[in-house]
Structure 1
Amino acid sequence: MTAPAPAAADQLWIGGYRHDVTLAQEKFEGGQDIKAGWIGERFDGLRKIGRPAPHLLFSKSLDGGTNYLAAGLNWTWGGRLYLRPGIGLAVNDGPRRAYRKGKRVDLGSPVTFEPELAAGWRLNTRVAIEASWVHLSHATIFSRQNRGMDSMGVRLLYRLP
């Protein structure tokens, strides 16, 4: 009798990111983040929406800025070179109100959407590297304040055996 094999698609990743690279508006935080995450096996039952995979993401600001935890779905398109768009919900510990030059610059809610996009290269069957963009925003659903915040970085992925 053999033990069941773990999900072949499960991946763990870690990356370094530039925090709050938002270009369209006044920045209220800066510095670097360490982000880490998990990407699960694709859902066969969700074929109608392209068999997405679940993901978890934790972001820790190294400079005292906003930290967050997110969960959502992502899709991987391609082979050795690929794109990975995703969407999730995040809970953050950012300030509830922050002002710069008399203008409000906080996220406006402790709950935000977490769209992301990565472009990756599979180095072999287990290891990949991705350039990644992650955004936090709530589309003015949770309050009228909706500044949004972007992070950009590089992450290393390891596919579990």
Structure 2
Amino acid sequence: MKKLFISATCGLLLAAPANAGEVFGGLYIHDVDTVSTKSGIEDGVDIQLGYRGGHIGSTPLQPYAFGALNTNGETSYAAIGMSAHFGRRLFVRPGLGLAIHNGSDSNFNRADKIAFGSRILFEPELGIGYHISDRASVEASWVHLSHAQLFGGQNPGIDNIGVRFGWKL
């Protein structure tokens, strides 16, 4: 499964021109209890680092891959997916991907960790940002992980909210 995930990540990143991509990084509040989760039990800050490829043709679509490491040793994850970029200076960036995590994949309630019910999760996200210059951008973003109850009735999900800084290569 890990080899498939790594192969898919490489394929997505190679699909876009190398000179049109950007690197990004950010800090996220881990496991924020929102209306889209039944969680809020893990702590810490996530440090996120990733790469976003250039636009695919004349579409707003861009492939991405990133990893998020939790500073408290809670659930960390890596994701690949597609985002879309709408707007010029001020922009909105919705995205949808798949993530693999090191948290509990059990399908029962736990008091100490989120029981995600699956090792592979959907990873929808939404960012609202501003291009500081031609190369630099900053965005506030929300990243959600869950399996949408496809792998069982239990699906607490997790929301991480933070800020990213991007730099075009």
Q: Which residue of 1 aligns with 2:5?
A: none
87-96 or 138-147: bigger deviation: 138-147
> Corresponding residue for 1:31?
44
Between 134-143 and 111-120, the greater mean CA deviation after superposition = 134-143
List runs of 5+ in structure 2 lacking aligned partners.
1-16
Taking structure 2 as the reference length, the TM-score comes to: 0.82
Distance in structure 1 (CA, Å) of the matches to 2:114 and 2:42 = 9
Q: Deviations over 1:2-48 (max 9, x none)?
A: xxxx644300011010000022434221111100111101112xx6x
Cross-structure match for 1:3: none
Equivalent residue, structure 2, for 1:80: 89
Once the two structures are superposed, residues 24-82 of structure 1 have per-residue CA deviations (whole angstroms, 9 ceiling, x without a partner) of: 434221111100111101112xx6xx441100010100001101110000000000000
TM-score when normalising by structure 1: 0.86
Amino acid at match of 1:75: A
Contact 2:31–2:39, Cα closer than 8 Å, also in 1? no
Matches within 5 A, 1:90-129: 90-97=99-106, 99-100=110-111, 105-129=114-138
Q: Which residue is equivalent to 1:9?
A: 20
My pick for the range that moved more, 113-122 or 140-149, is 140-149
Cα shift readout 1:109-142 (whole Å, capped 9, x = no counterpart): 1110000000110010010001010000111112
- AA at the equivalent of 1:30: D
Structure 1: give runs of 5+ residues left out of the alignment.
Answer: 1-5
User: Structure 1: which 4+ aligned runs deviate by more than 6 Å?
Assistant: none
Q: Check conservation: 1:133, 1:151, Cα contact below 8 A.
A: yes
Structure with higher helix content? 2
Question: Aligned-residue CA RMSD in angstroms?
Answer: 1.8
Counterpart position of 2:67? 58
Contact 2:61 2:84 in 1 (8 A): yes
As a proportion of its length, which structure holds more strand?
1
Is residue 147 of structure 2 the alignment partner of residue 138 of structure 1? Answer: yes
CA 129–13 in structure 1, closer or farther in 2 if over 3 Å, else same: same
Specify the structure having the higher radius of gyration (Cα): 1
Q: Quick one: which amino acid aligns to residue 117 of structure 1?
A: L
| Number of residue-to-residue matches in the alignment | 149
**Identical-residue share of aligned pairs (%):** 39
Write the distance in 2 (CA, Å) between the matches of 1:137 and 1:26.
Answer: 11
